[in-house]
Amino acid sequence: MSSSKVLRLSKLSLITSLILSGHAFAKNDKSEQQIEKIAVYGQHHKNYITEEAQSATKLGLTIKETPQSISVVSRALMDDFSLDDINAVLESTPGVTVEQIETDRTYFKARGFDITNFQVNGLGIPQSSGSIQGSLDTSIYDRVEIVRGANGLMTGTGNPSATVNMVLKKPTYTTQANASVSYGSWNKKRLDLDVSTPINEEHAVRAVFTKQKADSYLDRYETDKTVIYLAYEGKLTDNTLLSVNYVNQQKDADSPLWGALPLYYTDGTPTDYDESTSTAADWSYWDNSAEQVYVTLEQNLSATWVAKARYAHVENEQDSELFYVYGTPDKDTELGLTGYASRYDYSDKHDLFDLYASGKFDLFGQEHDLSLGVSQAKMDYTEQSLYDYTTGNGFPAMPSLKTWDGVIPQATLTDSVNGSNITNEQKSAYISTRIKLSEPLSLLAGVRYTDWKTTGTAYGVAQTQSDSQLIPYIGTVYDFNESLSAYASYTETFVPQKELDINANQLAPITGKSSELGVKAQLLDEQVFVTLAYFDTKQDGLAIAIPNSLPDDTRYYAADGINSNGFEVELSGKFTDDLSASISFSNLSIDGDDTVKDYTPENQLKVAAIYQVPFIDGLSFGANYRWQDSTSRVQVKDTNKIASVTTKQNAYGLLDLMATYKLSENIGVTFNINNTTGEKYLHSLYWAQGYYGAPRNYALSVNWQL
């Protein structure tokens, strides 16, 4: 057994022993039965939206008191519409675009920029790239919070796109247990188990297990996913709370897409393949694993002050042998494509530490808020690429994709060892405050100093960078009354980049400015929350892929500047006793990079709703609809730099429907239909290639809870 596996098992054994030292497992949190919490974060409307959000500031403010747009995808919405991974969650989030470029690699965008800020339980995970490999299963999360716009105070670095905070399920102080078994199209089988129990009045544990195996609408593609989650929470003293969380996610994929389908023929006309068409070889695979440990210690310093120390250790690994297809086929013969085999291995390790204190103080007859702290992160990653230049199987001529069955001689991937070995270190210090200038008027201000250092080599070129930035943040909120407020905010951005230019040198950091104006209101006896926001953002130095770069050796250039502006409207909550919904519309205008402007939808509409049938107890119907307008990508320009070949994706909408019926107090059945109208569409034009989304599909699940 390898040393890395021994290390993993030892960690798992340690945390399992800690958690299983109590009694049996158990159920959902009821706030009146929990231990008294040291810090309580802002409340929000119920139903499809959670009552809490903790990812915008560390000042303990409500969403209404925070001068930024915040959306929360609740556990209820994830359960109703089987939003089983983070891709599905963000597809339902206002203003977010999911750029699924391959089966096992996805980029996310908001307000025209890649989302690079991801958090778990409010702890920022520094990232220099927005792509997620494999998929992040949502069975372990209580909710997902999305703060749109720049969020430098919480994350240190990042694009002015959005911050995605995945809040882990917590142990509960009443016993609970629930299970779900589902079966769907393409032999998709899924099992979810979630048990939690108090050990005694001051200690509780929780465990979640998920297993999913599925074929696919894509030829040859199969996945096998396993998720293990263990959590402990306990009072060490009357004023000290300890929590420990362990996450292990493994996704193995056979015959995954690396790259995607060619989108035009040599005569410039668009290709039109079956939705099931795949370029993957029958021997290819892409396995992704993630292991995470989170430790949090909260100390109640007084009635209004709390100190929190947090540590996280995160490891990600990729192991793959992949097959890419490039070129432009002839329309009559379908020939002209070439295969390209590569082995790619990747691993990274993150050690993160954050220490801060927050609380209240009195001055000039008003109560104010203050938070200050320091954070440190060390991130090591290595990657290696291997090819086959000797056997003739590394770059084979391809048959027609319309008849290809994936059978091709396996390449001997041992040539041209190349890759990267990089260490990034980030240190930050920050302070923020909310000053009540008067009863209705608040001023929020803060500053974060971030120092980022990079050392190592990438594809034979030394990478040495040392960057630092002072990031200011200022905002104001004016309460017209208890239900209506207006806000404004401004911040600057700073993003180190790991992308390499044509000479394999690391690009300089991205810098930018972001501002936002908005109105927030609570209507219908505060059961419905409304947000209207206008934003304007400018960035310089953004990495843009050089056309025709190959996917394992992509080179980039720094764009002169991208400016995005637009507005977002969101309504969510309980509209009637029987109807709960989340409705949003977003508009976006981009200047400075025509490619980004073309492949990013200008308008998006998203609606999720559930209706409880009043005259049939236990019966509910729901709909989840996502619409975006047309997008395009210029593929070829003539000698005068005028587009001669352009791929277009017309505007389209996807409608998912669900029905659930409670057979008894403990057992329910849910039926889901996804892409009900059978829409055929390309997942993304983020790259010059693309592939089709899933056609109409079904799932039936049986749910039990104690």
Could you give phi then psi for residue 629, rounded to 5 degrees?
Answer: -80, -175
Q: Where are the alpha helices (DSSP H) in 232-391?
A: none
The tokens for 440 are: 């209705």
DSSP 644-697: EEEEEE--EEEEEEEEEEESSSSEEEEEEEESTT----BS--SSS-B-BPP-SE
| pLDDT over 60 (residue 108) | yes
Q: What is the mean pLDDT of the chain?
A: 87
DSSP 282-300: TT-EEEEEEEEEEEEEEEE
CB 621 within 8 A of CB 585: no
Q: Where are the alpha helices (DSSP H) in 317-451?
A: none
| Residue pLDDT, tens place only, 194-249 | 999 999 999 999 999 999 999 999 999 999 999 999 999 999 999 999 999 999 99
| pLDDT over 50 (residue 13) | no
User: What is the SS3 assignment for 411?
Assistant: coil
| Residue pLDDT, tens place only, 274-292 | 999 999 999 999 999 999 9
Cα dihedral across residues 49, 50, 51, 57: positive or negative: negative
Read off the amino acid at residue 446.
Answer: G
Dist CA 228 CA 235 (whole Å): 24
Q: What is the pLDDT of residue 212?
A: 97
DSSP 182-198: EEEGGGEEEEEEEEEEE
| Residue pLDDT, tens place only, 534-581 | 999 988 877 777 766 666 667 787 777 789 999 999 999 899 999 999
| pLDDT over 70 (residue 21) | no
Model pTM?
0.87
CA 478 to chain centre: 32
SS3 breakdown of the chain: % helix, strand, coil, rounded to 5?
5, 55, 35
Q: What is the pLDDT of residue 56?
A: 55
Could you give phi then psi for residue 393, rounded to 5 degrees?
Answer: -95, -5
Cα dihedral across residues 494, 498, 501, 505: positive or negative: positive
Dist CA 341 CA 550 (whole Å): 12
Q: What is the pLDDT of residue 641?
A: 80
| Residue pLDDT, tens place only, 497-513 | 767 777 777 777 777 88
Could you give phi then psi for residue 203, rounded to 5 degrees?
Answer: -140, 140
Percent of the chain with pLDDT over 90: 65
Q: What is the pLDDT of residue 396?
A: 95
Q: What is the pLDDT of residue 152?
A: 58
CB 530 within 8 A of CB 523: yes
| Residue pLDDT, tens place only, 61-106 | 888 888 988 998 888 889 989 999 999 999 999 999 999 999 999 9
CB 296 within 8 A of CB 309: yes
| pLDDT over 60 (residue 3) | no
Which residue bears the tokens 């410039």?
268
Q: What is the pLDDT of residue 505?
A: 77
Query: What is the CATH number assigned to the segment(s) 3-705?
Result: 2.40.170.20
Task: Give the angle 89-71-294 at the CA atoms, nearest 5°.
Answer: 70
| Residue pLDDT, tens place only, 111-152 | 988 888 888 988 877 555 567 777 789 999 999 999 888 775
H or E segment and range at residue 79: helix 75-80
CB 555 within 8 A of CB 546: yes
**Checking DSSP bridges between strand 337-363 and strand 105-110, what pairing results, if any?**
unpaired
Dist CA 498 CA 456 (whole Å): 11
The tokens for 327 are: 């070129």
CB 117 within 8 A of CB 87: no
Phi-psi region of 675 (alpha: psi -120 to 50; beta: other; left: phi over 0): left
Percent of the chain with pLDDT over 70: 89
H or E segment and range at residue 204: strand 203-214
The tokens for 643 are: 């587009």
Read off the amino acid at residue 150.
Answer: A
When pLDDT is cut at 50, 70 and 90, the band that residue 156 belongs to is low
Q: What is the pLDDT of residue 195?
A: 98
CB-based contacts of 560-563 (< 8 A; 24+ apart in sequence): 560/592, 561/592, 562/112, 562/113, 562/538, 562/590, 562/591, 562/592, 562/593, 562/596, 563/536, 563/537, 563/538, 563/539, 563/590, 563/591, 563/592
